A and B are shown apart, each in its own frame.
Chain A
Amino acid sequence: MRFLLAIFALVAASMATAKEEVVLGLSQNRVAITANFDGSEILIFGAVKRETPLPGGSSLGVVVAVEGPSVPLTVRRKEKKFGIWINTDALEIDSAPAFYAVATSGPFEEVINQTEDLRHHVSIPRSIRSVGAPANIKNVEEFTEAVIRIRKNNGLYQTLEGAVEVDQETLFKTSIALPSNLTEGKYKTRVFLTRNGEVVSNYETQIDVQKVGLERFLFNLSRENPLVYGLMSLAIAIAAGWGASAIFRVFRQA
């Protein structure tokens, strides 16, 4: 998406004590899914605003996390029984984002420590919530790992270590690739500034991912008027069948 629609939003002075604050820009704050949508790339850039001189002794870390809408999931595991592979154990995962990309300015553990990760749910495993599992299921964590593995292979979960470029401890930028199999919704975009692994400032905004035009029309019709939608599908099918037959008859007679 070429049209650059830079929106600079200043952080409200909510963190009076923070010496460093994020000023963020996005190449676009909404993604339109059109009929020929083939993925998109969002450029996230910003600057660090500070009133005091640069604190010495530690370098600035930046973490950018983009998170799609979360939904509950059922994960099933196959086992060999009676000679064939069938689903046996199933685990409900309370909430897992449909898309999650986290980009950091350096190795993940160095940029943000575990306590902060736990508090802000930054890393991919922390973004998946799974409360209780039935007692009869062993290796519960393997199910969560499987979700991450499968979605990483589909490009839906991304860990981009070192993908955030930081310039002069002040300017930062990164780009996040949104795959073509994107779902609609509000994509929460968070930026964390860290020093020595501690979060010193954070900022949150949203990217709207929406179907537009014909896509929007068909989707709405299928949900709001399923009967009309179904009849329309059948009418198109019958018209196409009849049309092809008629055209071929003309060809044969000619």
Chain B
Amino acid sequence: MQIYLPIAEVSVNAFLLLGLGGLVGVLSGMFGVGGGFLMTPLLFFIGIPPAVAVATEANQIVASSFSGVLAHLRRKTVDLKMGTVLLIGGLMGAALGVLLFNYLKSLGQVDLLVRLCYVVFLGVIGALMFVESLNAIRRARKATTASVPKRRQRSWVHAMPFKMRFRTSGLYISVIPPLLVGLSVGVLAAIMGVGGGFIMVPAMIYLLGMPTKVVVGTSLFQIIFVTAFTTMLHATTNYTVDMALAVLLLIGGVIGAQIGTRIGVKMKAEQLRILLAMMVLAVCAKLALDLLWQPNELYSIGAAGGH
């Protein structure tokens, strides 16, 4: 069944969109990532104009994250206090990111920057997570009973002022690191058109030392508000949010997210992380090859006056 999208001005298969939404939704629920880093390139691939894809994707992430966070709230795996701190940073970051994005747009190299951002961040994070999870699995196999829980190392994160107690996460740390994490994720989210979960989840685990159990729910909580903010920015300034596209994607997405959350509970944290790492690396490799190989069409058509 073909459907004509009023803002994107293209006609696409409705079931294809539902399917894409569902697939990305499952991943979103499993890993606590918005799925934007997968969905946005997929939308480009089926012929949705990039500006519409990025803006609409933000709207769709709101839906799948909201659906996911409700499941996590019920299981009490959301650190609301930490989430709020991350959110404050995130909103500031998103505003900064939009400013930076518009500046680069005026220089005419925004596409390249977005792609390079993807390759660098996905590559580094994917590789780190992959190695770390592999080691964790190996450790768990070698010493099943003998391992003594290691005391958490005190790093620079613990040496900062403005300490705050985060009861759900079992942390007593300064608010500056989570604010900075939120801020940088917000900037990247605005530039790359994604929720930023794939950066925030590892940052929460490795930088803030949060327990893996609460990381997913908390990042979803933060993502809802940051992407809602981004959606409003796009809708009011660029008019690129396509409601018809968003509805189709989110019907698939919210159902997928529910299924994904349940799969995620049944899997071990290490397995979950190694799967996410592999996926991140696959997307990174695809984008890197696109930059390195000679494209079939050297020319591209854009709207006049800028990007």
Contacts and interface: CB of A to CB of B under 8 A. Distances in A.
A162 B255 CA distance: 52
Nearest to A245: B70
A242 B254 CA distance: 9
Size category of the binding interface on chain A: 35 or more
Contacts of A226: 235-237, 239
A234 B250 CA distance: 11
Interface string A201-231: 0000000000100111011001100110111
Contacts of B246: 233, 236-237
A72 interface: yes
Given A85-B295, A86-B112, A241-B63, A74 B70 contact: no
Contacts of B1: 36
Interface in A55-107: 71-80, 83-87, 90, 92-93
A15 interface: no
Interface residues of B, number: 60
Contact of B255 (A181, A211, A244): A244
B7 interface: yes
Contact of B67 (A39, A84, A211, A244): A244
Interface stretch (B80-88, B268-276, B298-306): B298-306
Contact of A233 (B241, B254, B294, B300): B241
Nearest to B108: A90
Contact of B250 (A75, A237, A245): A237
Given A36-B3, A73-B302, A218 B108 contact: no
A232 B243 contact: yes
A36 to B, nearest CB: 6
Interface of A: 33-39, 71-80, 83-87, 90, 92-93, 142-143, 146-147, 149-151, 180-184, 211, 214-216, 218-219, 222-223, 226-227, 229-234, 236-238, 240-245, 248-249
